[in-house]
Amino acid sequence: MSLTTPYDDNNIFAKILRGEAPAHKVYEDDQTFAFMDIMPMMEGHTLVIPREPAVNMFDLSEDAATTLIRTTRKVAHAVRGAFDPHGVICAQFSGAPAGQTVFHIHFHIIPSWEGVEMNLHARKMQEADVLADHARRITAKLAT
């Protein structure tokens, strides 16, 4: 997958946006959508995506980039409020060699705690009830 790979309408995040695949949603608006990562690196690991069909940073429009980072900031505040971490990683990987595995652009929001080792990237599925509980905690903070 190079940085000029065309967008595939059947990627898993496109299916989530169309409601064809399930997700633990925490936030949505006209241009963005946020949900729990199914294989979290830490508890509270959340993903933020644009509705615009872009593969990575290099085919994303400026308008979609603006709303994507605005929602990332908003959700990062809620993740911080819900989990009280020592730090928060906000990360975006463009291209397989950079670590991208799903080819619809997304920001990761990953809480971190001193002395707590992160899970490996995209390795271990979390239980649905745990993800649902974490989504509820973040949604509750977004409502305040």
**Binding residues for ligand 5GP (CB under 6 A):** 12, 23, 35-39, 93, 99-102, 122
Q: Is 121 annotated as catalytic?
A: no
Choose, from 45, 104, 106, 134, the residue flagged as catalytic: 106
CA dihedral 91, 94, 99, 105 (to 10 degrees): 70
Pick the closer one to ligand 5GP by CB: 37 or 43: 37
Pick the closer one to ligand 5GP by CB: 12 or 118: 12
Tokens 């809620």 appear where? 78
Name the nearest CA neighbour of 25 among 17, 120, 94. Answer: 17
Supply the minimum distance, in Å, between the C-beta of residue 16 and ligand 5GP: 7
Q: Which amino acid is at 55?
A: V
